[in-house]
Chain A
Amino acid sequence: MNTTAVLVFDILLVLSLLSLAAAALTTRDAHRSIILFMAFGLVLALAWGRLMAPDVALAEAAIGAGLSGALLLAAVREQPRQTLTAETKAVHGGNDAGLKVILQSVVILLCVGLAATLSWALAHAFDSAPNNALAQAVQENLATSGVSNPVTAVLLNFRAYDTLLELAVLLTAVLGIFALGPARPGYRSAGPVFDSLAHWLVPVLILTAGYLLWVGAHAPGGAFQAGAILAAAGVVLRLSGQRTVGLPQKRVLHIVIAAGVGMFLLVGLSLLVLGRPFLGYPPAWAGGLILLIETAAMLAIAATLLLAFLGGRPQSQRLHGTLQPVTPTLRSGQDAGTITESRNSSEEKRPC
């Protein structure tokens, strides 16, 4: 490997990362910054591949660039194209220009100080010899962990408790999204070209998700990437005008969302009852238990990300709504099962 060529590649990659981040953050147009953010995510996935982190690269490309970008684009869809006009500047700036300049310079000093402190901490960490204790511990215990991919072993066996808490964070986020309002209005069918793309793309995505789940045990992959790709299949269905986007209906949906945390707790508590520590898998069953937990986690992650894209409680009614634009009237305590709410909050006139 020619080290000069690798160095040139690294410098180019780093420069594109910095310029994409700066461009995404300083532009005044919301749509433009979202597109630049997605480009930043994809170049970041390249950087993960270069730094020998393929699991992270898969997750970044699927979740960080793809689904985050889709979420942001769906969020700005309802607003008119937002730019920093003179009015918004006046509203946010206030009439005290001197105070504003002082505030801006204080914040910029804070950011420069943060960058300096982080660089100093990094230099300090790199000065001492690399600490390989954890990596060696993982390598020694990999044979009894049930999988041969070290990242999966760390995520689902050695640090399974952290993954349980992460799935709980996902559950909390989706509960918050449920509580904040009904789902965004849907999309109409975009024509035969996109429909035919969705016809073959969605089965391929589902197949790929299953493959990533299976192969995560011995190669880069795993439950998170598989869940993200399943959610992407749901997003494609949503964009082509489908109503139910593959999500199950009310009770089953609640079970699927809670399945990640639920399966973890079920396995952990059963092991407690059997006399082992919480989430301490017996080596003979470790592979099977990890696959079981990963399957439940994949479904939960896919449902959560898809509900995040929908933006709220999905509708379980199949009625077509009226066409006039209405702001959704929210009634506390009602779910989406009532006819009144579905008429009020169903699709408004979709923008062209």
Chain B
Amino acid sequence: MLTAQWLYGITGCLIVALGLRTALLHALLLQRVIGINIMGAGVFLMLIAVAYRGPGVAPDPVPQALVLTGIVVAVSATALALALARRLTAEQNND
């Protein structure tokens, strides 16, 4: 309802769409991983926009805690994906 909420929320939706397009279509694996990370960032933008309550009012802490959890989970998933990719290329080179 606040202008900032609208602005950042719609930005979050657009960023999710951009990330999904790259995650599905790009040829390089690394860019697909980056695309998934950016999708996550878009979702976080939407959550924090929902949590914002205005300049003088305390924001809602529950979505902020969700986003904090999400950031850590996203980086650990990225790390696992990169380790999988490394092992995959090692196996392909060994054939």
Asked if chains A and B are in direct contact (CB within 8 A), the reply is yes
Residues in B1-43 with C-beta less than 8 Å from chain A: 1, 3-22, 24-28, 30-31, 33-35, 37-38, 41
Given contacts A51-B48, A151-B61, A180-B87, contact A25 B38 (CB under 8 A): yes
Please report the C-alpha to C-alpha distance between residue A79 and residue B85 in the assembled complex, in whole angstroms.
12
CB distance from B30 to the nearest CB of A (A): 5
B61 touches A119 (CB 8 A): no
Given contacts A56-B64, A56-B67, A84-B27, contact A170 B76 (CB under 8 A): yes
Known A-B contacts: A24-B34, A51-B59, A111-B17. Give 16 more (CB < 8 A): A25-B35, A53-B48, A56-B64, A67-B75, A72-B78, A76-B30, A108-B21, A114-B17, A118-B12, A122-B9, A122-B46, A151-B64, A173-B76, A173-B79, A177-B80, A312-B83
B1 touches A130 (CB 8 A): yes
Residue total for B at the interface (Cβ-Cβ under 8 A):
74
A135 CB contact (under 8 Å) in B9, B55, B60: B60
Residues in A162-187 with C-beta less than 8 Å from chain B: 162-163, 166, 169-170, 173-174, 176-177, 180-181, 184
Which residues on A sit within 8 Å (CB–CB) of B41? 21, 40-41, 44, 64
A72 touches B34 (CB 8 A): yes
Q: Residues of B with Cβ closer than 8 Å to A?
A: 1, 3-22, 24-28, 30-31, 33-35, 37-38, 41, 44-46, 48-53, 55, 58-62, 64-65, 67-69, 71-80, 82-87, 89-90, 93-94
Which residues on A sit within 8 Å (CB–CB) of B46? 118, 122
Which residues on B sit within 8 Å (CB–CB) of A125? 50
CB distance from B28 to the nearest CB of A (A): 6
Given contacts A59-B72, A71-B79, A155-B68, contact A111 B38 (CB under 8 A): no
A21 touches B15 (CB 8 A): yes
Query: When A and B form their complex, what is the total count of cross-chain residue pairs whose Cβ atoms lie within 8 Å?
Result: 242
Which residues on A sit within 8 Å (CB–CB) of B79? 71, 173, 177, 305, 308-309
Which residues on B sit within 8 Å (CB–CB) of A75? 30, 82, 85-86
Which residues on B sit within 8 Å (CB–CB) of A177? 79-80, 83
Q: Residues of A with Cβ closer than 8 Å to B?
A: 1, 6-7, 10-11, 14, 17-18, 21-22, 24-26, 30, 33-34, 37, 40-41, 44, 47-48, 50-53, 55-56, 59-60, 63-64, 67-68, 71-72, 75-76, 78-79, 82, 84, 88-89, 92, 104, 107-108, 110-112, 114-115, 118-119, 122, 125-126, 130, 132, 134-135, 138-139, 150-151, 153-155, 159, 162-163, 166, 169-170, 173-174, 176-177, 180-181, 184, 222, 224, 301, 304-305, 308-309, 311-312, 327-328, 330
A122 touches B30 (CB 8 A): no
A181 touches B87 (CB 8 A): yes
B interface SS class: helix
Please report the C-alpha to C-alpha distance between residue A350 and residue B25 in the assembled complex, in whole angstroms.
33
Please report the C-alpha to C-alpha distance between residue A47 and residue B12 in the assembled complex, in whole angstroms.
12
A308 touches B30 (CB 8 A): no
A18 touches B14 (CB 8 A): yes
Which residues on B sit within 8 Å (CB–CB) of A40? 38, 41
CB distance from A311 to the nearest CB of B (A): 6
B16 touches A114 (CB 8 A): yes
Which residues on A sit within 8 Å (CB–CB) of B6? 126
